[in-house]
Amino acid sequence: MRPESKEISYDRPAAGQILNFIRDAIVSMELLPGQMISETALAQQFGVSRTPVREALIQLSNIGFVEVLPQRGTYVSKFSMDKILQARFIREALEVAVVSHLASGISEDLRQEVVEACEKIIADQKLAAADDDPIAFQHLDDDFHQTMANYTQYPRVATLIEAEKAHMDRVRSLSLHVSGQYKRVLNQHAAIVKAIKSGSAEKAAAAMSVHMKDVYNILEVIPQEHPEYFV
């Protein structure tokens, strides 16, 4: 990973920071599918012992970003088409339910709150798109979906969505390099917020379904361009 990306703050647990650095490197494809990860090299680069690096890699393994192979080492997980499609299916079911609930199952005041919060995120995403910063754009994309899930006031919903999205994150990151994808995502987010604001559960569900199915567009391209990324 780039040296400038590995500054550890000693007033926070090292393992969590290292996890975030490695996750961003995997999502941005700085660390490629199938690439070996050395605990010793990472510890040296971060200026820490191997313990927090090992803790970070175990957590990344639990969410599907790396594979720890006994006697062989730790590797960035390759794409699994089956896991990507399953994750997309589960996320669509959850997120369609989320926006339907926000459109018609909460108070008007709370709905206005979530609309304003999401509009602020969209404005920030436009700035990230203008800077051609896919990592910032994707973090804001995560914030957009997590914000809506949090406003359902069902805590487990956000946790379930977070657990399923790992298999889609790198595909989403790659999709941002496709011409027009920033604009497409921004338009889809705006349509979702507009539908929630209208109070129509049906419109909100339809807008989210379109957004969740967008991954199919990039899945038609990536396996042909990079078959080595897939199991």
- Report how far residue 189's alpha carbon sits from residue 207's, in angstroms, rounded to the nearest whole number: 8
Per-residue pLDDT, 174 = 74
- Report how far residue 26's alpha carbon sits from residue 20's, in angstroms, rounded to the nearest whole number: 10
Q: What percent of the chain has pLDDT over 90?
A: 63
Per-residue pLDDT, 3 = 42
pLDDT < 50 positions in the chain: 3-4
Q: What is the pTM of this model?
A: 0.84
Per-residue pLDDT, 6 = 62
Where are the CATH 1.20.120.530 domain residues in the chain? 81-225
Where are the CATH 1.10.10.10 domain residues in the chain? 3-76
Strand locations in the chain, DSSP E? 36-37, 66-69, 73-76
Per-residue pLDDT, 120 = 98
Which of the four CATH numbers 3.90.1200.10, 1.10.3720.10, 1.20.120.530, 1.10.760.10 does domain 81-225 have?
Answer: 1.20.120.530
Residues 6+ apart with CB under 8 A from 222: 79, 171, 174, 229
Burial 156-173 (b: 16+ CB within 10 A, else e): ebbeebeebbbbbbbbbb
Which of the four CATH numbers 1.10.10.10, 3.40.50.300, 3.40.50.2000, 3.40.630.10 does domain 3-76 have?
Answer: 1.10.10.10
